[in-house]
């Protein structure tokens, strides 16, 4: 999927933005960059801001018009501020990613994501070359995103959409599996130590109660809620075996150090 996606930057003024966009692309697994009539490129500032994503800058194609940049693309999506007049199919970044995933999975097509100028975005005639327009939600009063930041957001949505189930479990990023498994289970599923079983937990709670009596902290007649509260705390923490052993060790050391202990 990601190999079929091209990032197109139109009339970028600041080479630093081109470098930052290249870095964002490489971080998210995109590689195909096309620049439409950039003001300054190549430029040391672009290389500096790309921080070792130079390969993407070196392979970048420079063309004179947007038509040339998208000539071989079957799906062209332009980034746009919310439209006031001429309406066009306007989708969210998440819908864009789902649309691209669906299309690239089913056919060997090329997709172009088109980003406009720092100051004025894309012109109407450029937006008219797109099949869809994608809008990144922003604060009404401060809606102009940096172009590299816009590339970062859309490339991130594309990467999340491209991750297969195994990767998603590893990164803990699957909406579906989270809905079924729940947020807690997400990270609990790749915990590095085995979980304590119910039997060991009960022995721990017995040991805890005895120790609290030994140090004269727990007096059942005065604090009926104490043990239930501690049980709730340690149960929801889901102790692993190492943690349980540490807590048992602390209880034993507490009993040893206690003046008041039974024996």
Candidate list 58, 65, 71, 92; residue touching a second copy; CB under 8 A: 92
C-alpha closest to that of 14 among 154, 160, 124, 115: 115
- Tokens 């501020």 belong to 81
Taking residues 128 to 147 in sequence order and writing x for each that binds a second copy by CB under 8 A, - otherwise, the string is -------xxxxx--xxxxx-
Q: Write out the binding residues for a second copy, residues 161-190 only, by CB under 8 A.
A: 163, 167-168, 170-180, 182-187, 190
Q: Write out the binding residues for a second copy, residues 224-263 only, by CB under 8 A.
A: 226, 229-230, 233-234, 236-237, 239, 242-243, 246, 249-250, 253-254, 256-260
If one counts every other C-beta atom within 10 angstroms of the C-beta of residue 120, the result is: 9
Query: Is there binding between residue 52 and a second copy (CB under 8 A)?
Result: yes
**How far, in Å, CA of 32 to CA of 50, rounded?**
14
Taking residues 8 to 47 in sequence order and writing x for each that binds a second copy by CB under 8 A, - otherwise, the string is ------------x--xx-xxxx------------------
Closer to a second copy by CB, 68 or 118: give it: 118
Query: Is there binding between residue 156 and a second copy (CB under 8 A)?
Result: yes
Strand ranges of the sheet holding 132-134, from the earlier edge strand across to the other edge = 61-63, 32-36, 5-10, 111-115, 75-79, 132-134, 90-91
**How far, in Å, CA of 66 to CA of 169, rounded?**
39
Q: How many residues sit in the footprint of a second copy (CB under 8 A)?
A: 88
Rounding to the nearest 10 degrees, give the CA dihedral for residues 71, 73, 79, 80.
60
């Amino acid at each position: 999927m990601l190999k079929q996606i091209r990032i197109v930057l139109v009339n970028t003024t600041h080479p630093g933005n081109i470098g930052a966009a290249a870095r964002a692309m490489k971080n998210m697994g995109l590689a195909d960059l096309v620049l439409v009539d950039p003001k300054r490129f190549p430029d040391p500032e672009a290389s500096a801001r790309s921080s070792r994503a130079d390969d993407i800058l070196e392979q970048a194609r420079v063309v004179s018009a947007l038509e040339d940049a998208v000539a071989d693309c079957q799906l062209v999506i332009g980034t746009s501020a919310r439209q006031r007049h001429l309406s066009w199919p306007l989708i969210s970044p998440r819908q864009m990613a789902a649309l691209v995933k669906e299309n690239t999975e089913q056919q060997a097509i090329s997709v172009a994501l088109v980003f406009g100028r720092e100051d004025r975005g894309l012109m109407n005639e450029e937006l008219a070359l797109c099949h869809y327009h994608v809008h990144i939600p922003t604060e009404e009063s401060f809606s102009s995103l940096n172009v590299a930041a816009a590339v970062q957001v859309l490339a991130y949505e594309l990467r999340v959409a491209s991750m297969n189930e195994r990767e998603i479990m590893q990164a803990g990023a699957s909406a579906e599996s989270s809905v079924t498994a729940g947020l807690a289970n997400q990270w609990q599923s790749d915990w590095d130590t085995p979980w304590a079983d119910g039997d060991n937990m009960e022995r721990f709670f017995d040991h805890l109660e005895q120790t609290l009596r030994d140090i004269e902290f727990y007096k059942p007649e005065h604090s009926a809620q104490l043990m239930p509260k501690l049980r709730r705390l340690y149960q929801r923490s889901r102790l692993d075996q190492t943690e349980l052993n540490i807590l048992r060790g602390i209880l034993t050391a507490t009993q040893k150090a206690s003046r008041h202990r039974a024996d």
